[in-house]
Amino acid sequence: MIRTGAQYRDSIRDGRAVYIGGERVRDVTTHPMFKPLVDIRARIYDMQHEAATSGALTFEKDGEVNAIANKLPMVQQDWWDKRRATDTVLEDIGGIVTRVGDETVGEMWSLYDGQDVLNEVDPQFSANIRAHIDHVLHADPFHVSANTDPKGDRSKAPQDQDPDMLLHVVKETDSGIIVRGAKYETAAAYANQAFTKPTIANWGNAALSDYAVGFVCDLGSPNLKFICRTGFAGRAPAEDYPLSNRFDEVDTLVIFDNVLIPWENVLFYRHTKAATFIRSCLHRYSAFAFVQRNLKLADMMIGAALFNARQTGLDKQQAVQEKLSTLAVYREGINAHLTAAIALAERSPAGLLMPNQSLLYTGRVLACSQLHEMMHLARELCGGQICVTPDAAAFAAPETKPWLDKYYTVNEDWVADDRRRLLALARDMLNSDYAGHRLTFQLFAQSPPFAHLAAVHRNFDWDGPLQFVQKAAGLSDKVLPVSGRTPGDRAVSQWFNERTSDKAAE
């Protein structure tokens, strides 16, 4: 059943070896660089119990209350509910975090779809994924996804260099497999478990490989070490950097130093076919949550830019309105892809309802590939004052406050303190080291840009345009054999066919 924030905090006080700034962290729940995100994660758990938000975040079945984010998507309403749940969380905390938990369970649903592939390897692996999806639903852990390895020399196969550059199995035991290597994972230091699987790399071309392994790792396991990058929280006053002090999700290099993974936690092992399958469809569900975060970031950029234009009286100028409209087009483009991906959702191989794959992956490319341009546009609209405005201490100091009140007060509606707060938020979102980190993170968090486009290429309906041009140009069947495919957009045709079948059944 759903946990409380206090239960979550207790669950990560397990003596794990976490290092930041070269020092061992004794308690990740209280360390200044981890505490803000631990508090947000705890807040999400508590929201599931509160009357004002529990209806949006939870559902009840067979007398048990569970998180909507963890519910297997079977019908369209499930996706609307998931979208509302994430919006409810982000609106409550007043910012954007990526590792809420819903993105990782989506990756596990991809394996649920691949049970036929897992059965070819070992039927037990198929049973394991069903058991873990059930565990996530009923135990409500904070789970993350471990993808990226250090990789080493990418021109070489892993076995031709230091073998630990890619995570691999070194030994089998009666209890499970022993793994060595490392993975980068955001939030691992304060999460409960990680879905760990191969990166986009050459784990070998043979049918079997010790690098082709996927499992669920209990992050309190012995022989794990967490080496974290220095966080942004606490480095500068929160009044001047309101986002980086609250919403920085600390990235971690997780060291697997001969870690035992029990057999019941192994989801696939050695078969490169299974590894190839999971890489090809890994984000068919989780991309929805990822793209939705970009929608909220677009809202934040629009709000900061529009407030700045209005307070200085520039919002009536055509040039300013054009820039604001460009931001709105970006935002609504993301919104349209998310909405259409639900409206034209597709059945998965295992009978789940997955967002329309072509629309979802195209929306991800839109959100990520144009983000840097939209940030620059928002920076233009906010103006140079986001890089020259004095800090909050100067606005409070008796000797400087009168001057800053004079020069930063625009009118009775926009006094100095509100202007300073707006400029501080815009600076942290667009101009700080945290802003640069977040931009790079969005480009590579799920996979690199080339992989985003490869996912579009795999899922776009190329036959539709070909069939249309074949008819328009009067081309023979030699260039495109007759397929029996319904002319037009495949997703729209499928939508109408399903409704026709439903009416016939009635």
Residue with tokens 């649903």: 109
Decide: 186 and 445 in contact? Cβ < 8 Å.
yes
Q: What is the pLDDT of residue 128?
A: 92
Q: What is the pLDDT of residue 116?
A: 84
Q: What is the pLDDT of residue 482?
A: 82
The pLDDT tens digits of the residues spanning 355-389 come to 999 999 999 999 999 999 999 999 999 999 999 99
**Angle, vertex CA 173, rays to CA 225 and CA 143, nearest 5:** 40
In whole angstroms, give the CA distance from residue 470 to residue 296.
42
Quote the strand ranges of 246-301, DSSP E: 251-262, 266-271
In whole angstroms, give the CA distance from residue 246 to residue 234.
9
Q: What is the pLDDT of residue 91?
A: 95
- Written as six digits, the tokens of 334 are 């993301």
Q: What is the pLDDT of residue 318?
A: 95
| pLDDT band of 506, cuts 50, 70, 90 | low
Q: Which of 48-62, 127-141, 199-213, 418-432 has the lowest mean pLDDT?
A: 199-213
Q: What is the pLDDT of residue 198?
A: 81
- Helices 357-369 and 433-444 cross at an angle (nearest 10°) of 150
DSSP output for 390-448: --HHHHHSTTTHHHHHHHH--SSSS-HHHHHHHHHHHHHHHTSHHHHHHHHHHHHSSS-
- Written as six digits, the tokens of 91 are 């609106």
The pLDDT tens digits of the residues spanning 41-95 come to 999 999 999 999 999 999 998 899 999 999 999 999 999 999 999 999 999 999 9
Q: What is the pLDDT of residue 505?
A: 64
- Written as six digits, the tokens of 132 are 């873990």
Q: What is the pLDDT of residue 208?
A: 64
